[in-house]
Structure 1
C-alpha cells in the first residue's frame, strides 16, 4: 500500500471540507447527487468516446498502481545480470541457456535468448528497443485516459452549473428558491474541478512515473545484455547499471 497516496488524498479532502466549515458553510451543501451524476457520467462518456475499449480498460486497471505500486526490482535485476556476466566469462554464452526456462518475464527471456544465440550486440539493442517503444506507447496511451478525464471534468462541471442556472431561471417567480438553486448549480463546478485536480490528474502523473521506471528497467536490461555480448568486465557492467538506480 502506497501510504503517501492515501495521505495526499486525505489531506486534499480535509483542506477543502475544512475550509468550507471554517467559512461557516455546511458539508451537506456540497452533497448533490445530480451534479455528481452529470460530472462523472459526462466525463466517462467523453473518455470512452476518444479511447478504444482495450485502452480504456487497461487504463482503469492501472489505477490500482496508485495504491499498490507495480514491482520494479532493479537491484535484483542488476544482481541477475552480473551473475550471467560472470558465468559467461567462465563458461561462454551458451552456458546462459540454462537460465532461460526459469525466467517468467517475456522481455527478459527474449533478450537472454538473443544473447545465447550469439546475436550481434547492436542487433540485440535494436530489436529490444523496438519492443520498449511499443511497450511504452501502449502503457502511456492507457495512462492518458486519466489526463483526458482531468481535462474534460472541469468543462463538464461548468456545463452542469449552466444547466442548474437554467433551472433557476425557470423559477424566477419564486425568489425564495433562487439562492439555494444557484448554490446547488455551482456544486457541479466544484465536482468537476475537484475531481480533475484531486483525482484524475494526480493519478495520471503517478502512472506516468511508474511507466518511466519500468521503461528504465528494460533499458537497463538491454545495457547489461549488450555489455555481456561485448565481453565487458562485470565491474564495468555493474557500474553502468547502477546509474539507472534512483
Structure 2
C-alpha cells in the first residue's frame, strides 16, 4: 500500500473536520441538496467530457496506483535483468524459458525473446506497450483534473441557486437558513473535492506514470543489450542512468 496517499487523505480530511467541529457541529456541514448538486453535477459533467469506460477505468487505475503501490524499485529491476544477461551468456536465449519474474512487462519481454522474434520486432512491440501504458495514465490524470476543474464551478452554481431561493423567500424567515446553507456549503464541497481529493490524485497519477515509464524504459534498454550479448557488468553501468545519483553506488555493490 502507498502509505503516503493514505496519510495525506486522512490528515487532510481530519484537519478540515477538526476545524469544523472546533466551532460547530459536523452535522451543520451536511446538506444533501448541496452534496447532490456538487457530486451529481460533477459526475454528470465528467461523463460529458469523457467516455464512460474511460472514467471507470480511470477510477480503477487511480485506486490501484495510488493506494496499492506496485511500482518496483529500479535497483531490483537492474538486479533481475543482470541475472537475465548472465543466463543468456551461459545458456543462450532459450535459457530464459525457466526464468521466473513477477514484473508483467519484463515477463512479456522475455517471452518475446524466447519465441525467437527479431530484436527490431521485440523493440517495436515493447515501445508500443509503453505508449499504451502512458496513455492510460494520461487519460486518468485528465479525468481527475477535469473533476478538479468542475467541482468548484458546481459549488458556485449551488451558491447561486441558494441565493436565488433565499431572495425569493425573504418574506419567510424560516426558509432563509436552509437556502443560505445550500449557498455556502456547495462552495465548500466543491473546494474540498478539488483540493483534497481530485488534484492530489491527479498529481499522484502523473508521478506514477513517470515511475512506470522509467521502469519500462529500463527494461527495454536491458532487453536490447541482452539481445546484443552485452556483458552483465557493462549492462549494470548502462542502467545506472535510470537510478538516482545517490543510489548508483548500490548498483555496483550488487555486482
TM-score (norm 2): 0.83
Cα displacement (A) at 1:142: 2.7
Name segments (4+ residues, structure 1) moved above 4 Å.
102-106
Aligned length: 242
Cα displacement (A) at 1:21: 4.8
Deviation string 1:65-105 (CA, Å, 9 cap, x unpaired) is 33222353544332221112112222333433444xx5566
Which residue of 138, 144, 147 corresponds with 2:145? 147
Partner of 1:84: 84
Which residues in structure 2 correspond to 1:1-246 (within 5 Å)? 1-21=1-21, 24-64=23-63, 65-99=65-99, 102=100, 107-116=105-114, 117=116, 119-120=118-119, 123-175=121-173, 177-178=175-176, 181-246=179-244
Kept after mapping to 2: 8 A contact 1:62/1:143: no
Work out the CA distance in 2 between the residues paired with 1:113 and 1:8.
Answer: 40
Work out the CA distance in 2 between the residues paired with 1:180 and 1:243.
Answer: 60
Q: CA RMSD in A?
A: 2.5
Kept after mapping to 1: 8 A contact 2:82/2:236: yes
User: Larger deviation: 109-118 or 222-231?
Assistant: 109-118
Cα displacement (A) at 1:10: 2.7
Q: Structure 2: any 5+ residue segments left out of the alignment?
A: 245-255
Kept after mapping to 1: 8 A contact 2:62/2:140: no
Work out the CA distance in 2 between the residues paired with 1:25 and 1:104.
Answer: 51
- The alpha-carbon distance between structure 1 residues 26 and 74, as it changes in their structure 2 partners (threshold 3 A), is same
